[in-house]
A and B are shown apart, each in its own frame.
Chain A
Amino acid sequence: MCIAVPGRIVEIDDINMATVDFGGTTRVASADLVPGLSVGDYVLVHAGFIINRLDEEEAQETLKLFDQYLGLLEEEDDEISG
């Protein structure tokens, strides 16, 4: 029940309701729980509310970690086959 879905804000109206794009499907969600949201922000939506703003820098850090692990694995494979 704690599922939240990532999407991008495409509009925020005058009563602080945001239209969020989830890969082509849009839904309206309340922007009341997160201060300072803007159009273009990637956010997580849970039960009709935006619960946070996603941090691209942090996401890139995690992806870098995956790349690093992948690199280590390839090195090991090379050692085994070599």
Chain B
Amino acid sequence: MKYLDEFRDPGAAGALVARIRRTAARIQGEAKIMEICGSHTVAIFRSGIKSLLPGNVILVSGPGCPVCVTAMPDMDRMIAIPGKGEGRNPIVATFGDMVRVPGSFSSLERQKAEGADIRVAASPLDSLQWARENPEREVVFLGVGFETTSPTIAAVVRKAAELALKNFSVYPAFKLLPPALEALLDSPDGALDGFLCPGHVSVMLGSDAYAPYAEKYGRPCVISGFESLDILLGISMLLDQLADKKHEVVNAYGRAVDRGGNRKAMELLLTVFEPADALWRGLGEIPRSGLLFREGYRQFDAIERFGLEEVTTGTDPEGCGCASVLRGVLSPPDCPLFDNVCTPENPVGSCMVSSEGSCAAWHKYGRTGI
């Protein structure tokens, strides 16, 4: 068992597609399914799955791209960091996709061109190492991500506390998935019939986390992995439920996800951070959908350390459709800026920047087979 090729077998894919077609024929009208996770969006485009689906099965992308949902005020405050730190040129450490996202007055990429020390980290552990190697300089990690990623950053903050590092901090722009799911379900845009739930967020949360939503809103939730067979199985299991008018949580990624999730990681996350209201691009302010430092760890809060609350922040660019794209109500090609004013080379909105953004995915993989 290598946990890869076994889940890419073309023969099994054909069988799953046949099953999907048969079940879809039993459903009256459209089945509108949201894949919440940006990594699913990319995997779906890359594998060409959309071209294999029957016409009444519609996949829409959701708000699960952490870079895309980072709100403009957070972007602006992060981009302001290199100008802070009393001339000590702070090192800004970040996952790569954040570098090119435009703020309202600059971007990290432009700051870098002007001399700022912006470094791409493969792991938050890298930033800790840079802080230890550069004791005379501040190192700030840009904390974006859902429950998959935020516990890794909590682990690094705890390590920094153990090492009593004085020059390390994190900008907390994390997002929590369940409150966003609830906001989508409460929204009048709604009209979603089911959710393909993110496999790796679910590793942390556990499958039981979705039960209240499936029950309260009467929508099936199926947790899926990221190989092509995982995704086809997830779609097939959602259609099974829609055809039978069921709304249960089904785990199609049993090898990685259990009911209770990774309790150790979630406990650590909630030791370092606590839930707080958060602003999302597209979805607006959602109660208790973000994380801020808890008492005892606030010395690592980059917002306080650099006085970032004082930064003048802007609003989303005029005409940019990201807000509607992230709620699944606008398909990227229908945005007036798509592929003319806004391209990956010269992006206007975050959904065109991140490799997991739906606009970037549409640009790269086009309408082939849609």
Interface of A with B (CB < 8 Å)? Answer: 1-4, 6, 23, 30, 32-35, 42, 44, 46-49, 51-52, 54-56, 58-63, 65-67, 69-70, 72-73, 76
Question: Which chain A residues lie closer than 8 Å to B149 at the CB level?
Answer: 1-2, 46-47
Bound form: Cα–Cα A3–B255 in Å:
16
B311 near A: Cβ within 8 Å? no
B2 near A: Cβ within 8 Å? yes
Question: Which chain B residues lie closer than 8 Å to A51 at the CB level?
Answer: 148, 151-152, 200, 203-204, 262, 265
Bound form: Cα–Cα A1–B95 in Å:
9
User: Is B262 a contact of A69 with CB atoms below 8 Å?
Assistant: no
Place the interface of chain B in its size category: 35 or more
User: Is A23 a contact of B254 with CB atoms below 8 Å?
Assistant: no
Interface of B with A (CB < 8 Å)? Answer: 1-4, 6-7, 9, 11-12, 14-16, 18-19, 37-39, 64-67, 95, 97, 122-126, 144-146, 148-149, 151-152, 155, 198-201, 203-204, 226, 229, 233, 252, 254-256, 258, 262, 264-265, 268, 354, 356
Bound form: Cα–Cα A3–B252 in Å:
17
> Min CB distance, B155 to chain A, in Å?
5
User: Is A33 a contact of B123 with CB atoms below 8 Å?
Assistant: no
User: Is A54 a contact of B3 with CB atoms below 8 Å?
Assistant: yes
User: Is A54 a contact of B64 with CB atoms below 8 Å?
Assistant: no
Task: Name which residue of chain A comes closest to B268, CB basis.
Answer: A33
Number of A-B contacts (CB under 8 A): 136
User: Is B14 a contact of A73 with CB atoms below 8 Å?
Assistant: yes
> Min CB distance, B291 to chain A, in Å?
16
Q: Which residue of A30, A46, A47, A59 has the most chain B CB atoms within 10 A of its CB atom?
A: A47
Question: Which chain A residues lie closer than 8 Å to B125 at the CB level?
Answer: 30, 48-49
Indicate whether A46 sits within 8 Å of B15 (C-beta atoms), given known contacts A6-B4, A30-B155.
no
Bound form: Cα–Cα A41–B354 in Å:
33
> Min CB distance, A2 to chain B, in Å?
4
Bound form: Cα–Cα A34–B266 in Å:
11
Bound form: Cα–Cα A2–B225 in Å:
11
User: Is A49 a contact of B155 with CB atoms below 8 Å?
Assistant: yes
